Structure 1
Amino acid sequence: MNSLELGDIPFLQEAVAVVGYPQGGDNISVTKGVVSRVEPTQYAHGATQLMAIQIDAAINPGNSGGPAIMGDKVAGVAFQNLSGAENIGYIIPVPVIKRFISGVEESGKYSGFCSLGISCQATENIQIRECFGMRPEMTGVLVSRINPLSDAYKILKKDDILLEFDGVPIANDGTVPFRNRERITFDHLVSMKKPEETAVIKVLRDGKEHELNVTLRPLQPLVPVHQFDKLPSYYIFAGFVFIPLTQPYLHEFGEDWYNTSPRRLCERALRELPKKAGQQLVILSQVLMDDINVGYERLAELQVKKVNGVEVENLKHLCSIVENCTEENLRIDLDDERMIVLKFQNARLATSRILKRHRIPSAMSNDLVDDQASKETDEVGQGLLESPMSPSVSAGSSLA
Structure 2
Amino acid sequence: MPPRKKHKNDIGALGGKAPSCSPPSDSIEEKSRLVSPRTRSRSQNVDATGADDEAQANATDPKRRNTRRKYGGAGTTSADAAVDVATGAQPSGLPAKPRGSVPKSCTADSDTIMEAVVKVFCVHTEPNYSLPWQRKRQYSSSSSGFLLPGRRILTNAHCVDHYTQVKVKRRGSDVKHVASVLSVGTECDIALLTVEDDKFWEGVEPVVFGQLPQLQDAVTVVGYPIGGDTMSVTSGVVSRIEVTAYMHGSSELLGIQIDAAINSGNSGGPAFNDLGECVGIAFQSLKHEDAENIGYIIPTPVIEHFLTDYARHGRYTGFPCLGVEWQKLENPDLRAALKMQPDQKGVLIRRVEPTSAVSEVLQQNDVLMSFDGVSISNDGTVPFRSGERISFSYLVSNKYTDEEAELVVLHEGSQRTVRVSLRAPVRLVPFHTRGLPPSYFIVAGLVFTTVTVPYLRSEWWF
TM-score bin (small chain): 0.5 to 0.7
Please give the per-residue CA displacement for 1:339-387, whole angstroms capped at 9, x wherever unaligned.
xxxxxxxxxxxxxxxxxxxxxxxxxxxxxxxxxxxxxxxxxxxxxxxxx
Verify: 1:61 aligned to 2:264, yes or no. yes
Verify: 1:45 aligned to 2:251, yes or no. no
**Structure ID, larger Rg:** 1
Matched residue, 1:100: 306
Superposition deviation, residue 83 in structure 1: 3.2
Verify: 1:5 aligned to 2:208, yes or no. yes
Pick from 251, 254, 279 the counterpart of residue 75 of structure 1. Answer: 279
Pick from 104, 109, 113 the counterpart of residue 315 of structure 2. Answer: 109
Local SS of the residue matching 2:284: strand
CA distance in 2, matches of 1:194, 1:173: 25
Whether the aligned pair in 1 keeps the contact of 2:350 and 2:365 (CA below 8 Å) is yes
Alignment of 1:157-172 (within 5 A): 157-172=363-378
Whether the aligned pair in 1 keeps the contact of 2:269 and 2:281 (CA below 8 Å) is yes
Verify: 1:131 aligned to 2:334, yes or no. no
Matched residue pairs, number?
A: 256
CA-atom RMSD in angstroms: 1.3
Matched residue, 1:146: 352
Alignment of 1:180-191 (within 5 A): 180-191=386-397
CA distance in 1, matches of 2:405, 2:444: 51
Q: Which amino acid aligns with 2:285?
A: N
Please give the per-residue CA displacement for 1:235-280, whole angstroms capped at 9, x wherever unaligned.
22233222111111122246xxxxx41xxxxxxxxxxxxxxxxxxx
Pick from 442, 448, 451 the counterpart of residue 236 of structure 1. Answer: 442
Q: Which amino acid aligns with 2:446?
A: F
CA distance in 1, matches of 2:336, 2:434: 47
Local SS of the residue matching 1:100: helix
**Structure 2: where are the runs of 5+ without partners?**
1-203
Alignment of 1:193-232 (within 5 A): 193-232=399-438
| Bigger relative contact order, structure 1 or 2 (CA pairs below 8 A, ≥6 apart) | 2
Alignment of 1:1-400 (within 5 A): 1-71=204-274, 72-84=276-288, 85-253=291-459, 260-261=461-462
CA distance in 2, matches of 1:165, 1:228: 30
CA distance in 1, matches of 2:459, 2:257: 31
Superposition deviation, residue 94 in structure 1: 0.5
CA distance in 2, matches of 1:68, 1:6: 10
Structure showing the higher helix proportion among its residues: 1
Superposition deviation, residue 19 in structure 1: 0.5
CA distance in 2, matches of 1:211, 1:252: 45
TM-score, normalised to structure 2, is: 0.54
Q: Which amino acid aligns with 1:39?
A: E
